[in-house]
Structures are given as structure tokens and as C-alpha cells.
A and B are shown apart, each in its own frame.
Chain A
Amino acid sequence: MSIPKFETFTSGAVPVEVENIDTDQIIPARFLKATERKGFGDNLFRDWRYDAAGRTVATFPLNDPRYGGQILVAGRNFGCGSSREHAAWALADYGFRVVVSSFFADIFRNNALNNGLLPVRVEERFLREIFDEIRRDPQAQFTVDLDNQRFTIVSSGHSSAFEIDAYKKRCLQNGYDDVDYLRSILPQIEAYEKTHGAE
């Protein structure tokens, strides 16, 4: 099995300029009752996108027709709180392929990578520049280049490098999946069990 291969692309971005966005905001707990992985995008940011009566909140960026694209730009400490992978599923199902922030929570970052959703961490100053660019031009374009680990603001040509570990980079580039990999090294895992007196 595999995840979609990640190739360089250019797209617009949706700005959610809020810090400490926790996974309860990305997908509230009452929407975690499915036993299959589908349809989570409908409830992405549910309680910020819709009010208590179910009406669309026009000011929320996902509802603002000026914005669009496969990149979500958010404030620092994105994805904190619950380990629910449903948060990554909801973002990917909605159509995002990249989340840009100045800081990611650990579990969310892993969950995102395991679903082909690329977390791009940039310096706070560069994040401000991205938000400013979108304010200047809501249709502003950005290029995500995984091979060279670069995120670029197209109009200005300003760019920032981002980190990703070599193993995960290879997985995203080739659409490899961790389960397949771990199954391929089962003999080594079994040898470990024998020598370490695992349960």
C-alpha cells in the first residue's frame, strides 16, 4: 500500500492567523465516531466554520471565497492537544497537502507525514511575510519544493528552507508507507525479540 507521491507544486494558500490551534478545533471530538476513514473534511474546523445554528461563518478564511489552494498557513504551535489522526485526515480530505506554521506539535507532525500531508516549519518572521503577502494579494501563489526542501513566495521570490528527516522525505517522494517498511524488516524485529527477552 502506498500514500500519494509528493511532487513540487504551486498553489494559493488559506490563512488562519491563530496560534495554538489544537486538534479539538481542527476536528471536534463529536465527529470522531466513524469507523472508516472518509468524510472528515466536511467537519474540518467545524465550530469555527459554522455557528451553533449551523450557519456558515462568512469571516472564517475557509469560507472566504478570496482564498483557495492546497496550502494552509497557520499560527505557531499548530496541532497541539489530542493525538487524533482524524485532524490530519480532515485536512487532507478537505484538499490541503501542506500546512505552514512556525511551530508544530509533535504528534500532529507525525500524523501529517504518515498521511502525505507535509508540515512546513518556517521562522516566525517568514511566516509573518507569508501572512502579509496573502493580505496584499489573497490569490498569492506559493511553491512547495520537497526535493530541495524550499518554500517560496512566488511574487517576491523570497524563500525559506524547511527540515524533514531523510527517511520521511524518501517516503513522501516515493509514496512509501511505514507499515510496508516495518513488515519488510520483520526478521530483524524477531531477532531483536529473541536477544532482548521481550514479552
Chain B
Amino acid sequence: MIMGKTLLDKIWDAHTVRIEEGGRCVLYIDRQYIHEVTSPVAFAGLERRGIGVARPAQITATADHNIPTVNQHLPIEEPESRRQVATLAANCAKYGIEHFGVGNPRQGIVHIIGPELGFTQPGMTIVCGDSHTSTHGALGAVAFGVGTSEVEMVFASQCILQTKPRTMRITVDGALRPGVEAKDVILYIISQITASGGTGHFIEFAGSTIRSLSMEGRMTVCNMSIECGARGGMIAPDEKTFDYLRGRERAPQGAAFDAAVARWRELYSDADAVFDKEYHFDASDIAPMITYGTNPGMGMAIDGTIPQTADPKALHYMDFRAGERLLGHPVDYVFVGSCTNGRIEDLRRFAQLVKGRHKADGVTAWIVPGSKGVEAQARAEGLDRILEAAGFELRQPGCSACLAMNADKIPAGKYSVSTSNRNFEGRQGPGARTMLSGISVAAAAAVTGRISDPREVFGEA
């Protein structure tokens, strides 16, 4: 009997050019995304070798990690950042790679613009020199982060050498409780399986809860696959996926789109497929989440208490104690944005929650759209005016305080509630103390100045 194939098997096997002794696959890559931080050394490698880019039309570039989120019409002040951004532009011009630089209406965080412009499609293999490339898996693609040597491999050959990951399925079933969003689902999953629970595996997220999420919500879930160590995360494409892609600029159009949908409908795990590892979770167990420690697995329900078993080193860094509740704890900064929560749906939700209220005194809030497209849409919908009336300012797109490579840094010792993906020591600036959350918990912190339960602040909307 031939065993059924998982979704990963179907896409991976169809892209395997050959298999080396020991199992490493030469994997064909349909699309590579690049940005200013992890590409310059790869381009320099091509130069040293005296070779070119094999398939420039299959590469898309944007500047995101290093750029300011205000006054983007001015030259970047910081010389090293300016040089890195200019180097990307020069390399793209030299090798004929399409580049959406600062100010371009298609510019944005690489993992926001790929789906938004329709470059990312079901069944593709996608890599980028960034661990959150797993985001694109929400559309049914095999997408994963790579290092700079691997970026260079794809430049040189459109292929990468890679061991096929083991398969894992995480099924979440049931209706989400009021006030619970996609970010809470993934923070809950990581808190259950730990920050290394997915290592060596590629996750397929399944179940009625996952199906019920919007495409934006699915991207939030897949985005954080790497935070449990997984190579990537993906969701089988369905009508929602096809509706999302229909009419997008770089997706197939007209009859070609219909033909593509017919192929995409074959992309699912067979009923008899066997996964190397399976987890099942019940949506009714999930509450609005917050992290208390220094990796994304150190999370708990917003009204919970820090576990007695919590890592003392992490608690020392955060200046928290085991057994303590976080509700009521003062908050200095709120960051809304990043490839995790910087899409239009996130800004809509935040604006809807803070509408008619006001930012708490003493809180510095950075609301950063994920792309020029998201920014334009937010302004077209009047979200900027709602935010302004509530004391918030919509900034310009970029990775911003998620990794604080630009000027958006949280000062040492300050507490930040952040909708981004990592709460590592110093991630948002040396000494910064980060608590990860979804949009609702961030909105509740922004208007109260404290860690608050959004269900109490806003009602169970």
C-alpha cells in the first residue's frame, strides 16, 4: 500500500531536483525575497566568484529592516543603515532584480508585501534570508528562512541544498472565545510545545479554528512557526486563499488564474498521510495571551500567574517574580506592527478598539504599518484619523521596533507591550523588556498604561 502524502511532501518532492548521499536535497526555489541586511555579503560572494544571478526575474527585493519609520522622504541619517540600503539598490540595479526601495508604493516588510502583491502563491517554494519567511506558508507555500550562504546559493543556481524536515501537524478545533485573536492562538501553541518543540519539523496548521481565521490571521500564525523552532509552517489553501489572491497584481490573471486555482485545489494532505508528530488543541482553552519571559514560549493567559517553574534568568532580566500576576503592571511603550501584526486587519482592529478612547499619559506608542499598501489602505479607510483622535500617530512602514535596527529602540529597563514576534533579551534595544501580545492586549495597555485584560477594558467584542 502506498501511504498518502502530506502537503509538505507534495510540494517538496515536486521541487526536488536531486538527492545527495546522506539525504540532502537540491531543492528548486520558485521565488526568493531579499532585503538589505542579509543580502550584501551574498552579492559580494557572486562578485568574488565572477558569476551572475541565475534567475533575477524570480527574485524580489525591498528595504525594511534598517529604515526609519518617520520622514522617509529624507536621506537615512544613520550612515551604516544608509549604506546598507544603498548597497541593496545598487546590487539590484546591477543584476536586474526588481527592487521596491524606500518611497516606492510597493515597499514594505518583505513578508507583508509578498502576499499583498500576489507574488506568494500556493504550491511554491519560497526562501528569504529572514526566519519569518514562514509567514508565506499561510497561502499553502513551502516557505522558510535561510542564511546568507544560502541566499548566495539561490542567486547562483536558483536552488538550495537542504535536508527535508520531518512533518508535524498542529490541529486546533473549536470556536475561539470572545476577544481571542490569531496571535493568541500561536502564542498559546508555543507556550504549550516550548520554544524548541518544533525544531527539525515543518508544521502544517489544521483544524476548524485555523480554517476560520482570515488570511491575515493565518499569516500571523504561520509567521511565528520559527518561534517554536520549526523550519516553517503552512496551511492548505482553500476558497479564502483563492479569494485573497484573485486580482492581486502579481498573481495570475483571468483564465490563467482559474487554471492555477484548479492546480492549487490539489494541495492538501491526503487523508491517510502520516505525520512524524501531531498535536491537538482545543480553541476554548485559549485566552488573550502575554509573555513574561525572554523567549516566545514563556507565555501565559493575560489573567494568569507566572509559573513557579519559570526560568530565573529570564525573570531576573524582566524583573518579575514567579507566582506574580502581570495585570496592573505599568507599561512604558506599545508597539503595533511587524511581519507578525502589521497588516490592514491588525490596524483596523487596533483603531476600532481605541476609537473614542485616549492613549494613556506616559505611554509611548508606535503604530507602524507593514507596507506602503497597508499605510495607503489605512488612510483610505480613515484609520489614521481615528488613531489621531485617540492620541496615536500612524508611522511609515518598516520592521521598526521589532528588532530595533533603526531609531525605534525601547530604552533599557523600560517595559514594552509588543505585537511583534520576539521577546529575547535586548531584542527591542539593549536592556529593553518586551512582553509579546496580540492587538487587543496591546490596545488595552495603550489606553490604560498598564497590563490589562482587553475583555474587561473593551467588553467581549
Contact = CB atoms under 8 A, between A and B. Distances in A.
A35 B156 contact: no
Interface string A160-191: 00000111110000000011011101101100
Contacts of B195: 20, 77, 80
A46 B10 CA distance: 43
B67 to A, nearest CB: 12
Given A77-B199, A85-B147, A88-B147, A182 B425 contact: no
Interface in B155-172: 156-159, 161-163, 165
Interface residues of A, number: 54
B307 to A, nearest CB: 16
Given A36-B41, A114-B149, A167-B22, A199 B161 contact: no
Interface in B264-301: 295
A76 B195 CA distance: 11
Contact of B426 (A28, A84, A166): A28
B245 to A, nearest CB: 16
Contact of A182 (B57, B130, B159): B159
Contact of A24 (B84, B156, B424): B424
A159 interface: no
Contacts of A154: none
Interface residues of B, number: 73
Contacts of B131: 81-83, 107
A100 B273 CA distance: 36
Interface string B131-156: 10100000000000111111011001
Interface string B80-123: 11011001000000000000000000000000000000000000
Contacts of A189: 17, 26, 28, 157-159
Question: Of residues A20, A36, A76, A199, which shows the largest number of chain B Cβ atoms within 10 Å of its Cβ?
Answer: A20
Contact of A188 (B17, B58, B156, B427): B17
B239 interface: no
A43 interface: no
9 contacts: A24-B426, A33-B84, A34-B40, A35-B83, A81-B226, A106-B199, A167-B161, A168-B24, A185-B17
Interface of B: 14-15, 17-18, 20-24, 26, 28, 30-31, 37-38, 40-41, 44-45, 48-49, 51, 54-55, 57-58, 65-66, 80-81, 83-84, 87, 129-131, 133, 145-150, 152-153, 156-159, 161-163, 165, 195-196, 199-200, 226, 229, 231, 295, 313, 403-405, 412, 422, 424-427, 430-431
Interface of A: 1, 18, 20, 22, 24-25, 28-30, 32-37, 47, 52, 76-77, 80-86, 88, 103, 105-107, 110-111, 114-115, 165-169, 178-179, 181-183, 185-186, 188-189, 192-193, 196, 198-199
